[in-house]
Structure 1
Amino acid sequence: MVHVSVKWGKQSHDVDVDTTMPGLVFKNQLYSLTGVPPDRQKIMVKGGMLQDDADLSKLNLKPKQKLMMMGTADKLPDAPTNAPVFMEDLPEEEQDVTGYAKYGAGLRNLGNTCYMNSTLQCLYKVPELRQSLAAYQAVAGPPDPAHKLTLATKELFGDLERSSQPVTPFGFLMQLREKYPQFAQQRNGLYMQQDAEECWTQLLYSLRERLKEAGGEGSDSVIQQLFGLGLHTRLLCAESEETIEEDSTVYELKCNITVDVNHLTEGIRLGLQDDREKNSEKLGRLALFAGSSAISRLPRYLTAQMVRFFYKVDTQQKAKILRKVVFPLVLDLYEFCTDEYKKALEGPRKAWQEAEDKRAGLEKAAKAKAKSAAKDDKAQANGAAKAEEAKPEGHANGSKADVEMKDAAEPSESTSADSEPYKGQLTGRYELTAVLTHKGRSADSGHYVSWAKQDDGQWLQFDDEEMIPRKEEEVIALSGGGDWHMAYLLLYRAVKA
């Protein structure tokens, strides 16, 4: 990155130039700052005008170097009025012809960036993260890469919320590559495909550094509150009978895949076994410790990684495990928790179950009541007709009073007093809200897309700039076993009491 100053008319803009990118990327940066489209920009550089395909690394740009740009900006839109605006009256690029703009927007692929696009679309489905980013402010002092990446994420999420057309994530990509140069790796002059899980992990790490809960610098990280999962690990050495207890925070559960793993929970159980070599004080040397972990704190959003990729020494690249591993729409992690945390979850779980039973009971009672009422109406009508036929001529209405029909008593809708203290607490259950999938045989190739459940229950597939409606059964079918898209990262949202 080279920090330069670009003068345009009376304005001057400070810009970080990624010299590994072509000239068009630099022009798009200036477009976002000045409103001058790239095709109208005339930027004076050594050797003449900057071309779209120019190799910026050959310009020998110096820090704080001043560049001159000429060009006319697009006309600004008129001030808003209270008059209604119809879609057909909007410019073509602003029209939502698909009807999916309420769900966000697609992201354009900038050359093997589907790993980044799919990660962003999944994380965009976390409203608490969007709110925290929207409230994020600039910091005093020189901006560090984590701060600039956080600001770029904030701006990009804002664009996704406002736009009805695919968004070009140039700014975000540049800040991602500045903070993590691994995502700028090239092969034969082209940017390489990267691992979506690594992008997910690195982005959350930067956001964890910057996003704090209300309360200032000493407060917990928003990312820790949303995604942080507490683990208590017990390590036992069979040789020395030593025991070590450890507590840690992780941001995803691993689903290890072997020939015996057919379901997500089986892989998670395997992933919580963590054997490792540690120094034994009794033996005075390294020894093998058998480790097993249990969950001591659950987050609001759970990330589960299908560990599908491993490194093959002979080919020197990541290979992929294609085995089918079924994942549920509702995941219950109670069995993986520590005994102490299980006790804390019992109250909320009971309250949630009571609420579910009550809801099911009310629905069942309503159906039974409607069925009974229809049957009574029919019987009453038949009885009245028969009684009318049986009456002798001139006979008055029967002296016996009509039987009064009463509705069956409905179950009480009042909430149990015992369940009130647990309202809003975690239950250990999670609902699937997004899936990041990979298609192909290697992490260094293939294609990533995301599948996200919207607030109205509609599933959408985000394939770079395309938004495709999907059915729930299509999402369930992403369990693997072939060359089709298969789940790599699963994002679950907590079910609360």
Structure 2
Amino acid sequence: MLTVSVKWQKEVFKAVEIDTSQPPYVFKCQLYDLTGVPPERQKIMVKGGLLKDDADWSTVGVKQGQKLMMMGTADEVVKAPEKGPVFMEDLPEEEQVVSLGHSAGLFNLGNTCYMNSTVQCLHSVPELKSALVKYSHSGRSNDLDQTSHMLTVATRDLFGELDKSAKPVAPMQFWMVLRKKYPQFGQLHNGVFMQQDAEECWTQLLYTLSQSLRSPGSRMHCQESGEESSETESVYSLKCHISHEVNHLHEGLKHGLKSELEKASPALGRSAIYLKESRINGLPRYLTIQFVRFFWKRESNQKAKILRKVDYPLELDVYDLCSDELRKQLEGPRQILRDEEGKKLGLKANEKSSGAKDNDVKMTDAEGSSNASGESSVTTPQEGAPSDKEARLTGIYDLVAVLTHKGRSADSGHYVAWVKQESGKWIEFDDDNPIPQREEDIVKLSGGGDWHMAYICMYKARTV
């Protein structure tokens, strides 16, 4: 902790404390409280130029008792309203949350940004929150272990706190139960809790809370004998594999659905190389995609990071990644969606759409029964047969959350959640500090440097 004085215009502010464990942006926020000059307008002179928001204090060279010069214009003083103002802090806390337009942040309990960012992303799913609200303390089924039940209850209670609080929440109870259920998140190094992989936290939490994605079907073609075989496997998210050929999310997904493996060939009577091509047999309401950015580096004995830039869209179409059977089911809803979007643009609906709608109604029962067994990776199944008015999937998804990582290793650095609110606005949840962001800036978190880059993307299905 350093103490400095700051000269701004004709005023000098003495004994201003600098917490060197926090970025300079926090110091600028302190000066904003003193001067009324917003951080983005502040120009603070230090050795080597202007003080940057994310600079490292150890390299800035600020010394105890130093006098700093700040330039910048304060916000204009707002004229007093005719009616007396009602201050937000005077409102009930529930009304404060509504006024803010977003939920509360989460305090970092010591390298828990991986957990905080995961919780904030999943907290944005209304269906998950609804399912948790219905979950009671005594609602544990016989085949559910006690720690899974405790984690589900802790998640429900934490989501409730986030919805009701305008101030940052300390997720102490949730963290304790998470470590009890999954001891790997309680690893210590020199008496301090270690940074963990957010993707592992995401996967384990979802595994406890929800059903998995529908099982994708795989076809394997033997490159030597020409024979083929089929099998089914369970996955909990799609992987975007990154190589020198991958520049876009869609390319990485295609690479992730193809692989080679060695297995016994009945035709050849020996082991042979098979080319495995997977296709998605069922789609969830929410699609989770992990960018495979980390790999084990033997030289340094740690998880190294692939910094390559991989673009991802606000709107994702996975139609060409689906099986032939699923594509047929999607054709009708996709035509309806095109007609609806065409009407908004003043275009006439496709004449074939009426026939497509009839076909869709006929197949609703078959499609709905399959969805009921695993419609979403983060929601509970619908009870009973679906009605004709039930929303149907189109294979098109909209981006609703991005979990980013800043740093060179999965076991270090910093995780942040970028979440789309019901109002359509995006909020950056940097632990206990929610910051509004522009939608056009969200897709810029695609990598290529040391700044925050997408590690997990969550997409919501567009339905008709």
TM-score (norm 2): 0.70
Name the amino acid aligned to 2:173. G
Tell me how large the CA RMSD over aligned residues is. Answer: 2.5
CA contact (8 A) 1:119 1:436 kept: yes
Deviations 1:30-57 (A, max 9, x none): xxxxxxxxxxxxxxxxxxxxxxxxxxxx
Matched, 1:193 2:208: no
In 2, Cα distance between equivalents of 1:311 and 1:495: 37
SS in 1 for 2:234: strand
Matched, 1:477 2:444: yes
CA, structure 1 residues 258+352, in 2 after alignment: closer, same or farther (shift >3 Å)?
A: same
- What residue is the counterpart of 1:440 in the other structure? 407
CA contact (8 A) 2:110 2:193 kept: yes
Return the offset for 1:329.
0.5
Return the offset for 1:338.
1.2
- What residue is the counterpart of 1:232 in the other structure? 217
Return the offset for 1:283.
4.5
CA contact (8 A) 2:286 2:459 kept: yes
In 1, Cα distance between equivalents of 2:394 and 2:91: 47
- What residue is the counterpart of 2:119 in the other structure? 120
* 1:278 maps to which of 257, 260, 263: 263
In 2, Cα distance between equivalents of 1:88 and 1:311: 49
Return the offset for 1:90.
5.3
In 2, Cα distance between equivalents of 1:292 and 1:154: 38
Farther off after superposition, 459-468 or 421-430: 421-430
- What residue is the counterpart of 2:184 in the other structure? 182
SS in 2 for 1:266: helix
> Within 5 A, what are the aligned runs for 1:215-230?
223-224=211-212, 228-230=213-215
> Within 5 A, what are the aligned runs for 1:6-17?
none
Name the amino acid aligned to 1:126. V
In 2, Cα distance between equivalents of 1:483 and 1:246: 40
Deviations 1:224-244 (A, max 9, x none): 4xxx14311011222343322
Farther off after superposition, 134-143 or 425-434: 134-143
SS in 2 for 1:491: strand
CA contact (8 A) 2:289 2:457 kept: yes
Deviations 1:220-262 (A, max 9, x none): xxx34xxx14311011222343322012232211110001110
In 2, Cα distance between equivalents of 1:86 and 1:470: 24
Name the amino acid aligned to 2:460. R
Name the amino acid aligned to 2:317. D
In 2, Cα distance between equivalents of 1:98 and 1:296: 40
CA contact (8 A) 2:241 2:255 kept: yes
Matched, 1:450 2:417: yes
In 1, Cα distance between equivalents of 2:163 and 2:304: 36
Return the offset for 1:427.
0.6
CA contact (8 A) 1:96 1:165 kept: no
Identity %: 55
- What residue is the counterpart of 1:462 in the other structure? 429
CA contact (8 A) 2:293 2:307 kept: yes
Matched, 1:334 2:322: no
Return the offset for 1:426.
0.6
CA contact (8 A) 1:230 1:298 kept: no
Deviations 1:265-303 (A, max 9, x none): 000000000222223344555432210011111111111
Farther off after superposition, 230-239 or 154-163: 230-239
- What residue is the counterpart of 1:308 in the other structure? 293
> Within 5 A, what are the aligned runs for 1:314-463?
314-361=299-346, 417-418=354-355, 422=360, 424-463=391-430
Name the amino acid aligned to 1:183. F
- What residue is the counterpart of 2:146 in the other structure? 144
CA contact (8 A) 1:257 1:267 kept: yes
- What residue is the counterpart of 2:58 in the other structure? none
Matched, 1:296 2:281: yes
TM-score (norm 1): 0.65
CA contact (8 A) 1:94 1:165 kept: no
Return the offset for 1:351.
0.6
* 1:490 maps to which of 434, 457, 460: 457
Matched, 1:167 2:169: yes
Name the amino acid aligned to 2:120. Q
CA contact (8 A) 2:97 2:164 kept: no
Name the amino acid aligned to 1:206. T
SS in 2 for 1:346: helix
CA contact (8 A) 1:150 1:206 kept: yes
CA contact (8 A) 1:193 1:445 kept: yes
SS in 1 for 2:184: helix
Return the offset for 1:181.
0.7
Aligned length: 345
- What residue is the counterpart of 1:384 in the other structure? none
CA contact (8 A) 2:103 2:163 kept: yes
In 2, Cα distance between equivalents of 1:416 and 1:275: 41
Structure 2 gaps of 5+ residues are 1-85, 361-388
Return the offset for 1:98.
10
Return the offset for 1:96.
4.0
CA, structure 1 residues 419+359, in 2 after alignment: closer, same or farther (shift >3 Å)?
A: farther
Deviations 1:402-449 (A, max 9, x none): xxxxxxxxx79xx97556565621111000000000000010100000
Return the offset for 1:456.
1.2
Name the amino acid aligned to 2:104. A
Name the amino acid aligned to 1:127. P
Return the offset for 1:89.
3.2
SS in 1 for 2:217: strand
In 2, Cα distance between equivalents of 1:143 and 1:237: 42
